[in-house]
């Protein structure tokens, strides 16, 4: 299964970008042995529309454009379901074992994600009840994707 990240907003050069790259590189190197392949990060500029609903709609259209046909769509949203690392890993393994070809994990803009995306999503997750800057969310999800691969492969990176 090919894994991609979609993010509203661009990550500037700096330690956050370096850390995301490190985890995605680890994912790219270790994922294929588990049937998971890191594909790409799709970054789009934040909409400049005058109101939040229009911004969310415009950003959703960009996600839909980048979303492979029949892809599993996971949204990161503060109102989503909390999941521990093992459950997240097992869910990815289940989608892979069901023959799903693509997985897209989406990080919305400052206004959140359009309700139409929520209706289309296969899962809506949160990374805790606190609000996180988008740069840190990107680090957290990159690490969790790498961790999922290590859990699925039985690697000792994930210790309980």
Annotated binding site for S-adenosyl-L-methionine: 76, 108, 127-132
CA distances from 39 to 1, 50, 88 (A): 9, 33, 19
46 vs 49: CA distance, rounded Å: 9
Say if residue 66 is exposed, middle or buried (CB neighbours under 10 Å; 0-12, 13-18, 19+): middle
The annotated binding site is made up of: 76, 108, 127-132
In terms of DSSP H, where are the helices of 31-156? 52-66, 85-97, 115-120, 134-153
146 vs 156: CA distance, rounded Å: 12
């Amino acid at each position: 299964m090919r894994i991609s990240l979609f993010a509203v907003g661009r990550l500037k050069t700096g330690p956050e970008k370096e850390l995301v790259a490190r985890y995605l590189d680890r994912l790219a190197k270790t994922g294929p042995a588990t049937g998971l392949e890191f594909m790409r990060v799709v970054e789009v500029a934040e909409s400049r529309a005058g109101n939040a609903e229009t911004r969310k709609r415009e950003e959703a259209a960009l996600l839909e454009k980048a979303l492979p046909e029949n892809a599993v769509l996971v949204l990161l949203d503060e109102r989503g379901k909390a999941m521990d690392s093992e459950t997240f890993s097992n869910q990815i393994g289940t989608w892979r074992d069901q023959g799903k070809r693509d997985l897209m994990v989406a990080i919305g803009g400052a206004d959140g994600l359009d309700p139409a995306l929520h209706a289309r999503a296969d899962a809506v997750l949160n990374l805790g009840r606190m609000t996180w800057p988008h740069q840190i969310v990107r680090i957290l999800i990159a690490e969790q994707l790498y961790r999922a691969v290590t859990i699925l492969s039985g690697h000792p990176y994930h210790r309980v």
